Structure 1
Amino acid sequence: MGKIEDIDHVLCTGEVANAVWRRAAQALGVQCMEVAAGGQELATSSDVLRGCCKEGELGIRKVKIECDSALVVQWLRNKACMMDKCWMNDPDRLVSPAYAEGVKYFLTQARNHASGRARIRCPCRACLNNLWLPIPEVETHLFIKGINPNYTQWIFHGEEETTLYVSDDDLDDDIIQEDDYIDDMQHMLDDIRAGTFVDVPQDSTPLPNRPSIPVDGPAPSFDQLLEDARRPLYDGCTEFSKLSFVVKLLHIKSIGGWSIKSFDMLLDLLRSAFPNALLPQSYEESRSLERGLGFKYNKIHACPNDCILYWKENAALNECPVCKASRWIPNTDGSRAVPQKVLRHFPLKPRLQRLFMSAKIAGDMRWHKEQQTKEDTCMRHPADSECWKKFDEDHGWFASDPRNVRLGLASDGFTPFNNLAKPHSIWPVILVPYNLPPWSCMKDQFFMTSLIIPGPRSPGNEIDGKLACPSCNADTDSNWLKYGRKHCYMGHRRFLPPDHIWRMRKGLFNGREDHRMPPRDVGAEEIQNQLQMIGDVQFGKSHTKKKRTAEELNWTKCSIFFVLPYWSTVRLRHNLDVMHIEKNIADNILFTLMNSPGKSKDNINSRRDLELLGYRKELHLRRDGDRVTMPHAAYTFNVEQRKKFCEWLSDIKFPDGFASNISNCVSRCECKISGLKSHDCHVFLQRLLPIAAGGYLRSDIGLALTELGTFFKELCARTLDVNRLAQLQIDVVTILCKLEMIFPPSFFDVMVHLAVHLPREARLGGPIQEHRTSHTLDVSADLYALACGPDRWVATYAA
C-alpha cells in the first residue's frame, strides 16, 4: 500500500486549478509541478498518484485520481476537499477573486441540487442553513455577511458526506467528541443512512461511499431529518435538537397514554411559552418523523373471528367469505369506515439489517462463532446445544458465515386493561436474535416485535386434551377423572430404570405395577405422517368445538414452519416455557398447601376420584349419615400453620431488584395469597418453598418439595453442565414419583408432567435463560401503553 510520503509530484493544468492545488499540495507535503493551460504532461517521481484538473475548474473534488490504495485516495481526497474551500475564510471577500469564484462554484452546485426550486438554504453566518431564500438573495448574503466557515461539507447543497470505515482500534482516537453534537440523534440518523451497507470484515476491501439518503426514503425527507437533528431547539440550547425533542415528546405520549387532543394542547402551550423554539404545529406533523426514522409497520385488516386476513387476494373484500362477518364496524352516520380488527405487522428485513449498522453490535452478532469459549461440557449459549451443532453439520453453507441470523420466536398474551370485568388480551409475537452473546440477546432493545395481534380473544386454537404433551406424543399417559372433569398425567414410574423397586410398589402408587418403557423420541418423518392425517383446516373461531378423530391425535393443524426446508430435520421444534411451568406448579403447590377454596387441587371431587380409583384409602371421604367429611391431608396446612405462614411470607425482605414485593399479595387477616406473577412464583418455588416445606410439613413431604425447588434452581442457572443435566433427568423422575405418593391425581395436570422433559429440552436447546418465553414477553411499559391506547393510566416506578 502506498504511503502519503510517497506522493511527491502531481501534474495539474489550468491557472485557477494550479493556484488551488498548490495550496492543497503544500499542506499535504506534496511538490506541485505547474504547466500552462494545454501544456504537456510531465513525469512524476512516484507512480502512487497522478492527477489532472481541467482548466477553469476550481474544486479538487473534480480531480481524477488513480492510486494503488483506495484508502490513500480516500484520505487524500478528504484533505484535498477541505483545502479546496480555503476561500471561505478569506477576510477580503468583497474584493477577492478566489472568494468570488468560490461563491460562483457553490451556487452552481446548489442550483443543480435544487432541481428547479427557486429557494435554497442560506449558509451565511446569520442564517446558518436555517432559512430558505431565493438564490440571488443567498448570493447577496454570502458576500455581505460571509459564508459560515464551519460549513465545510455542503450536505444541504448536493455534496455527499464523507464516510470513513475505520477499525475498532482507531475509534478511541478518531471518535468525534460529544461536544460537537447536541445529542445522540445524529448517530441514529447515521445508522438509518447506512442501511444498505452491513458490517464488513476489517480485512476486506473498503466499501464505496455510502449513499447520502436511505434507499427506501425520498431525499427531501431525509435531508429534513438531518437538518432537524443538527438544529438546536432554540438558540443556545445544548441539550436538545429539534428532532430529539420531538422524538422524546412522542415517547412520553406513548408511555403516558396521552390522547391526540392533549398532545396538541401541550404543543400549543409550549409554543406560547417558548415562541422561539422550533416546535411542530400538531401531532400529525410530529408523526411524520416516523417515516424518516424507520418506525414503519403495516396495518392488515382481519376477520373478527380470525378466519382470513384482508390481504393479497382478499384485500378488496368487505365481508369474510367463511363466516360472513362484516369487515367494518357498523355505523349509520356516514362517517369513515372503521375496520373491526387490525393486525399490525413490523417488517423484519430492515430491522435485521440495522443490527449490522453498528460496529459494536455487528461484532456481537458474530460472537457465537468468533468469541465464544468452546467447552464440551459447559453450556452458556444456544450455540453450545446439540440442536445448534447438528444444524451446523447439516447446513454447513449457512454455518460458514457467522453473520447469518438465527431467530427464536415467542408469543404470549397479556391484558392491557386493569379491569377484570372487561376481559381483553393482546398477543405480541417477538423475535429474538440468538447470535448475540448471553448478556445481550435477552435485553429489551434486541427484542423485535414482529406482530401485534389484537384481542379481545386469543387467536390460538384450543390444545388441551389427553395427548397434550408434545414430547410423549401418541404415547402420552393420561387418565380421565370422572368427578374432577379433567385429565391427569401420572405414570412417571415408566421413566425409572427397568429394575427400580418403585415399579413393583402397588400400594404407594395407583395399585398396579408399572413395567412400561419410557416413550421414544418421535422422528420428523413420523410427525409428517401424522400431520397428513389432518384434513383441510378451516381457520377462525367456530361456535361449535371440533371433535378430533383418533388418527389426528392432538394436532389441530400443520405448522407453517414445515414449509421451511430445514424444519423437518430440527430435533427441537417446540419450546416448553419453563416460567409458565414453574408458575403452574407453584400455584398447584401453594393453593393446595393453603387449602384455598376453588383453587386447591385437594377438594371433594378429587377425594371422590380417589375412591373410584380404589387407592389412598386414608384420604377417602368419611360419611356419617348425611354428613360427609374430608380427612385432613398431611400436605395441607391447618389454620394455625396458614396464619404463621402468611405472617412469615409478608415479613420477607428481598434485595433490591431480586423480586417484587410479595407481601402485597398476602392477606394476614384472611390468611390468603393471591396475585402472584410468573416471577413471583419463580422465586417462591426456588427460594421460599424449601424453607416453608421444612418448617411446616412432614419430613418426607418437605424433602420432596425441597428437591423440586432445587431442581428448578439448577435448571434455570446461567450455565449448565452437560453431565449434571443427565443427573437432573434422573432426579426429576424420582421427584415426580415422590409427588405421586403424596398428592391426589387431580394435582397432576399436564404442566406438572412437562417438567420431566425439561432436562432433555435444555440439552437440545441450550440454557433455559436463553429460550425462556415468559422472560421474553415480560411486557414493557411502552408496549403496554400502546396496547391500552389513550387512557388516564400513568406508569409509576417503585423506589
Structure 2
Amino acid sequence: MDKSWMHADRRSRAFELGVEELIMFALESGCDVNKVCCPCMRCGHGKSWKARVVRDHLVEFGIDKTYTKWIWHGELSSNESSEPEGNSETVEMAGNDTVGGSDDHEFSVDSDEFLRFVEDGDKPLYPGCTRFTKLNGLVKTYNLKAKHGLSDACYSDMLILIGILLPEGNEVPSSFYEAKKSLCALGMNYEKIHACPNDCILYRDSNVDATSCPTCGLSRWKLGKNKVEKVGVPGKVLWYFPPIPRFRKMFQSTSTAKSLTWHADERLKDDKMRHPADSPTWKLVDDKWPAFSSEPRNLRLALSSDGFNPHSSLSSRYSCWPVILVTYNLPPWLCMKRKYMMLTLLISGPKQPVNDIDVYLQPLIDDLKILWDGVEGVYDGYRKKYFKLKAVLFWTINDFPAYGNLSGSIVKGYNACPVCLQHTKPHRLAHGQKMSYMRHRRFLPRYHPYRKQAAVFDNTEERDLAPIPLSGHEVLQRVEGMNWPFGKKHPHPPYKGAEDESRPCWKKKSVFFELEYWKFLPVRHNLDVMHIEKNVCDALIGTLLNIPGKTKDGVAARLDMVAMGIRAGLKPKIGGKKEKLPLAS
C-alpha cells in the first residue's frame, strides 16, 4: 500500500486522496463510521471521532508521519510478535474492561491460560484470511451485542449464521457460551451471588446452601404466578467482578505497568496540588506504613457509587447501583479515563439498597483486605519481574444521599451535617416546609468583621467557634455496637455523646471500618464535583439573576425571612389577586 502521501504537503491533491484512502481502508476494515481513531498531530491516536471530523483534522493538523503501520485502522503488523489489530478494540462489558492495548504491549509468561488464549486468538478467522483473526472477529461481534442490546439467543444465532457464510474451517464460535468462555480468559469473568430480596444477607460463605433468609425468613427463590416458588431462579442477584485478576492483567501490559508508577517516577514535586499524590492522605499512608510506600507499584484506590434507573422514565420500579474503583497511581490524564475505571459490583433490583448497601459491599471488602496484606506472584510486564502487589482504599466519592448510605452518617433532618453532627444549627421553615441550616459564620476566623454584622445576616452576632470534624478513631468509638441486622427497620440506638438522644447522628457502623487502616485516614468520604458545581451554581445564578423557574426567591422564601425577622422590607405585597415581590437589591 502506497503511503508516500503522508509526507506530502497537506494542501496537495495527493495528500487529500491519501486521507480518503486511509478513511476508506478503516471503514472497510470494520471501524465504526462514528468512531474512527484520529492519527493527526494534535490527537495522536488518543481520540476517536466521526470519519468526516478525522478527515478535517488530518488536513488541518497533518498526520503523524511515524504511523507507518495503520494498526488502529485495521492493518495487521508485519511483526509476528505484535498483537493483532483486534486487540486494540474495546469490549464494552463488565465495567468497560479492555481487551489489549497498543502494538508495544507485551504480556507475561505467568499465565499459561492467558498465553494459550492469545495464541488461539492469533489464528486467521478462516483459512487464507489475512485481515482478521479469531479474536478480532469475536471482539467486533461482541461489541455489536453490547451496543445494540442483543439477547444471548440472538447473539448465538448470529454467530451460527456468520459461521455458515464464511468458508469451511472458520474459527467463529458456535454459541454465546463459547464466546463468553474465550473472553473470560482476558480476566472479564464475574460471579453471580444470590441475595435476599430484603437485602438481609448474601448467599455466600456459611449461607451458600441456604434456601431461605435466616434473618427475615423470606425464600431465596423468586415467586411466580399464584406465589409459587421458581426453585433455581433467585429472587435477587449481585453481580461481582473481582478486581484482583484485572489488576494482574493491568501489570501485564508494558505501557500500563509503566504508567502505574508515574506518581513516583515522573510527577513534578513542588508542593502544589496537581494529583492525589500531593494530598495529605497519600502522605499519611507513606509516613505511617513505609513498607507499603517503599513499593511504588502498590495501588492507591478510590470507590464511587450511585444509583440510577437504566430504563429512564419507562419503568420506575427498577434501580441499578454500580460500584466503581478508580486507580490513582496513573497520571491525571489517565486515571479518570473510562478504560481505567473498574466496575466491581452491580446491584440491581426493584428498590435501592440504601443503608443495606454494606451487605453487597462484603465481597469487595474481602478482596480489599487481601490486597492490603498483599497478593504474591504479580508479573510486571515493563520491568520483567514478579512482585507482591498491595492496595489501599483512600476514600469514597458520592453525592450526599449515597454519602450517608456508605458512611452511616445522618444526611437529612436536624443533625444532617457530617461535620457539625449534634452541633448543627437547623431551622424548620414554616412556609417553605424544608429544613434550613444557618450559622455558617462560625467557620470564619475568630475576629472576622462579618461575625459582628447582625443586621446584614440574621440579626444575631456570631460568637461560636467552628465545630471540629471527628477523626476516624472518634467516629469508630461513637458507632461501636450499632451492628443490628440488615434489611429491616430498626430504631436508632443513641450514639455516645449525643446532646439530644432523640436526634441521632449515625444510623449504622460502616462496613469500611473492617479495613484496618480506615480509621486512620483523615478524609474517608467525599462529595462529587458534579453535584456541587451544577446544583449549587444553578441555584445561586438563578437566584441572583432572578431567572424564572430557576430562582429560589419566591413567596415562601420571603415569608420565611419575615418570620425570622430578616429584611422585613422584602415582605410580599398583596395587590389584587396576586402577590407581588419587592425587588431585592
Question: Where do 1:75-474 residues align within 5 Å?
Answer: 178-180=78-80, 183-184=84-85, 210=109, 213-214=112-113, 223=116, 225-276=117-168, 277-331=170-224, 337-376=232-271, 378-419=272-313, 421-461=315-355, 463-474=411-422
Determine the structure 1 residue equivalent to 2:103.
Answer: none
Give the match's secondary structure for 1:389: helix
Question: Where do 1:777-796 residues align within 5 Å?
Answer: none
Deviation string 1:382-420 (CA, Å, 9 cap, x unpaired) is 111122112211111111111111111111122211325
Deviation of the 1:617 alpha carbon: 0.9
Go from structure 1 to structure 2 and tell me whether the alpha carbon gap of 1:484 and 1:547 turns closer, same or farther (over 3 Å shift): farther
Deviation string 1:577-618 (CA, Å, 9 cap, x unpaired) is 222112221342355456656x75333332332232122212
Structure 1 distance, partners of 2:472, 2:221, is: 42
The aligned amino acid for 2:268 is: T
1:494 aligns with 2:442: yes
Structure 2 distance, partners of 1:486, 1:547, is: 25
1:555 aligns with 2:502: no
Go from structure 1 to structure 2 and tell me whether the alpha carbon gap of 1:334 and 1:520 turns closer, same or farther (over 3 Å shift): closer
**Mapped contact 1:465–1:554 kept (Cα < 8 A):** no
The aligned amino acid for 1:324 is: G
Structure 1 distance, partners of 2:558, 2:472, is: 41
2:566 to 604, 611, 615: 615
1:629 aligns with 2:547: no
Structure 2 distance, partners of 1:452, 1:342, is: 9
**Mapped contact 2:223–2:230 kept (Cα < 8 A):** no
Structure 2 distance, partners of 1:421, 1:185, is: 37
Where is the strand percentage greater, Structure 1 or Structure 2? 2
Determine the structure 1 residue equivalent to 2:523.
Answer: 572
Give the match's secondary structure for 2:428: strand
Go from structure 1 to structure 2 and tell me whether the alpha carbon gap of 1:591 and 1:507 turns closer, same or farther (over 3 Å shift): same
Structure 1 distance, partners of 2:119, 2:447, is: 78
Go from structure 1 to structure 2 and tell me whether the alpha carbon gap of 1:323 and 1:579 turns closer, same or farther (over 3 Å shift): same
Go from structure 1 to structure 2 and tell me whether the alpha carbon gap of 1:595 and 1:389 turns closer, same or farther (over 3 Å shift): same
Deviation string 1:423-452 (CA, Å, 9 cap, x unpaired) is 532111111111111111111111111111
Deviation of the 1:521 alpha carbon: 3.3
Deviation of the 1:631 alpha carbon: 1.2
Deviation of the 1:213 alpha carbon: 1.3
Unaligned runs of 5+ in 2: 1-75, 90-107, 356-404, 406-410
Structure 1 distance, partners of 2:190, 2:83, is: 29
The aligned amino acid for 1:526 is: E
Structure 1 distance, partners of 2:582, 2:485, is: 50
Where is the helix percentage greater, Structure 1 or Structure 2? 1
Deviation of the 1:630 alpha carbon: 4.1
**Mapped contact 2:323–2:343 kept (Cα < 8 A):** yes
Give the match's secondary structure for 1:465: coil
Deviation string 1:88-131 (CA, Å, 9 cap, x unpaired) is xxxxxxxxxxxxxxxxxxxxxxxxxxxxxxxxxxxxxxxxxxxx
**Mapped contact 1:618–1:631 kept (Cα < 8 A):** no
Give the match's secondary structure for 1:426: strand
Deviation string 1:67-100 (CA, Å, 9 cap, x unpaired) is xxxxxxxxxxxxxxxxxxxxxxxxxxxxxxxxxx
Give the match's secondary structure for 1:440: coil
> TM-score w.r.t. structure 1 length?
0.50
Give the match's secondary structure for 1:575: strand
1:504 aligns with 2:403: no
**Mapped contact 2:86–2:137 kept (Cα < 8 A):** no
The aligned amino acid for 1:602 is: D
Structure 1 distance, partners of 2:321, 2:254, is: 33
Structure 1 distance, partners of 2:197, 2:509, is: 22
Structure 1 distance, partners of 2:435, 2:241, is: 39
Determine the structure 2 residue equivalent to 1:519.
Answer: 467
Q: How many residues align?
A: 429
Give the match's secondary structure for 2:251: coil
Determine the structure 2 residue equivalent to 1:689.
Answer: none
Structure 1 distance, partners of 2:230, 2:469, is: 58
Go from structure 1 to structure 2 and tell me whether the alpha carbon gap of 1:211 and 1:474 turns closer, same or farther (over 3 Å shift): same
Structure 1 distance, partners of 2:146, 2:267, is: 38
State the structure with more CA Rg. 1
Deviation string 1:683-713 (CA, Å, 9 cap, x unpaired) is xxxxxxxxxxxxxxx6xxxxxxxxxxxxxxx
**Mapped contact 2:241–2:345 kept (Cα < 8 A):** yes
The aligned amino acid for 1:210 is: V
Go from structure 1 to structure 2 and tell me whether the alpha carbon gap of 1:632 and 1:248 turns closer, same or farther (over 3 Å shift): farther
1:539 aligns with 2:486: yes
Deviation of the 1:370 alpha carbon: 2.3
Deviation of the 1:253 alpha carbon: 0.1
Give the match's secondary structure for 1:468: coil
Higher relative contact order (CA 8 A, sep 6+): 1
Deviation string 1:161-193 (CA, Å, 9 cap, x unpaired) is xxxxxxxxxxxxxxx9545367146799xxxxx
Determine the structure 2 residue equivalent to 1:581.
Answer: 532
Give the match's secondary structure for 2:319: coil
Give the match's secondary structure for 2:239: strand
Give the match's secondary structure for 2:285: helix
> TM-score w.r.t. structure 2 length?
0.67
Structure 2 distance, partners of 1:415, 1:517, is: 42
**Mapped contact 1:505–1:513 kept (Cα < 8 A):** yes
Go from structure 1 to structure 2 and tell me whether the alpha carbon gap of 1:281 and 1:379 turns closer, same or farther (over 3 Å shift): same
Structure 2 distance, partners of 1:328, 1:619, is: 61
The aligned amino acid for 2:155 is: F
Go from structure 1 to structure 2 and tell me whether the alpha carbon gap of 1:256 and 1:369 turns closer, same or farther (over 3 Å shift): same
Structure 2 distance, partners of 1:289, 1:553, is: 52
Deviation string 1:763-789 (CA, Å, 9 cap, x unpaired) is xxxxxxxxxxxxxxxxxxxxxxxxxxx
Q: Identity percentage over the alignment?
A: 39
Go from structure 1 to structure 2 and tell me whether the alpha carbon gap of 1:603 and 1:541 turns closer, same or farther (over 3 Å shift): farther
Deviation of the 1:502 alpha carbon: 2.1
Structure 1 distance, partners of 2:486, 2:203, is: 14
Unaligned runs of 5+ in 1: 1-175, 189-208, 635-697, 699-799
Structure 1 distance, partners of 2:554, 2:504, is: 31
Deviation of the 1:523 alpha carbon: 2.7
Go from structure 1 to structure 2 and tell me whether the alpha carbon gap of 1:305 and 1:418 turns closer, same or farther (over 3 Å shift): same
**Mapped contact 2:572–2:582 kept (Cα < 8 A):** no
Deviation of the 1:288 alpha carbon: 2.4
Structure 1 distance, partners of 2:209, 2:551, is: 52
Deviation of the 1:281 alpha carbon: 1.9
Deviation of the 1:619 alpha carbon: 2.5
